[in-house]
A and B are shown apart, each in its own frame.
Chain A
Amino acid sequence: AQSVTQPDIHITVSEGASLELRCNYSYGATPYLFWYVQSPGQGLQLLLKYFSGDTLVQGIKGFEAEFKRSQSSFNLRKPSVHWSDAAEYFCAVGASASGTYKYIFGTGTRLKVLA
């Protein structure tokens, strides 16, 4: 079955500290992977995506993610967190059917940033 697991429900880091959010997926074929961010009361904003090629993907706002096929993981990282990064982060896999894709999301990780 296709699924996405985000093991950490909440993470708290100090401003300026590094960040890693974990994501594991289960998908039979080559996965298309995404990270989205959601601020309170808002929709989802795409941070980055992986389709193929270089396994280290750069995104917006200084975020990056690394695809590791052997570990079925796609962890999100940022070297120095800013207070404005406080939000909920969702990992998703694009599941193909009938020539198009639906997204399967994890349950999210809520990030709190301490001043």
Chain B
Amino acid sequence: DAGVTQSPTHLIKTRGQQVTLRCSPKSGHDTVSWYQQALGQGPQFIFQYYEEEERQRGNFPDRFSGHQFPNYSSELNVNALLLGDSALYLCASTFYGGRETQYFGPGTRLLVL
């Protein structure tokens, strides 16, 4: 049973560029959440997708957008990258509703120069 997978593992971009990160949820899960973890901080909730729609959103600007595909996989897009976007981006999957635990992937480390 594959867990949550993310790609790429590492990424280097320059300011102003755009980036796309990818996530495949744990088998059987239908809900994907994205978190940003800056160095030395706890993860911060970006948004959550279910049935290909954004269901919840944290306090992040519109430069951060996402998508969920019919197979439940998801993408996180960040436009007009800033130096402050450098972080570990974590994807988590679960079942929609109820009190199901979120399972996290290994993350994508983004460095913006």
Q: Which residues of A contact B (CB under 8 A)?
A: 4, 32, 34, 36, 41-46, 49, 51, 90, 92, 94, 97-108
Contact = CB atoms under 8 A, between A and B. Distances in A.
How many B residues are at the interface, by size bracket? 20 to 34
A104 B33 CA distance: 12
B42 A108 contact: yes
B51 to A, nearest CB: 11
A97 B55 CA distance: 9
Interface of B: 4, 31, 33, 35, 40-45, 48, 50, 55-56, 58, 90, 92, 94, 96-97, 99, 101-107, 109
Which 4 pairs of residues, A with B, have the shortest CB-CB distance? A105-B42, A44-B104, A43-B106, A43-B104
Contacts, number: 64
Main SS of the interface on chain A? strand
Given A32-B99, A107-B42, A102 B50 contact: no
B43 A103 contact: yes
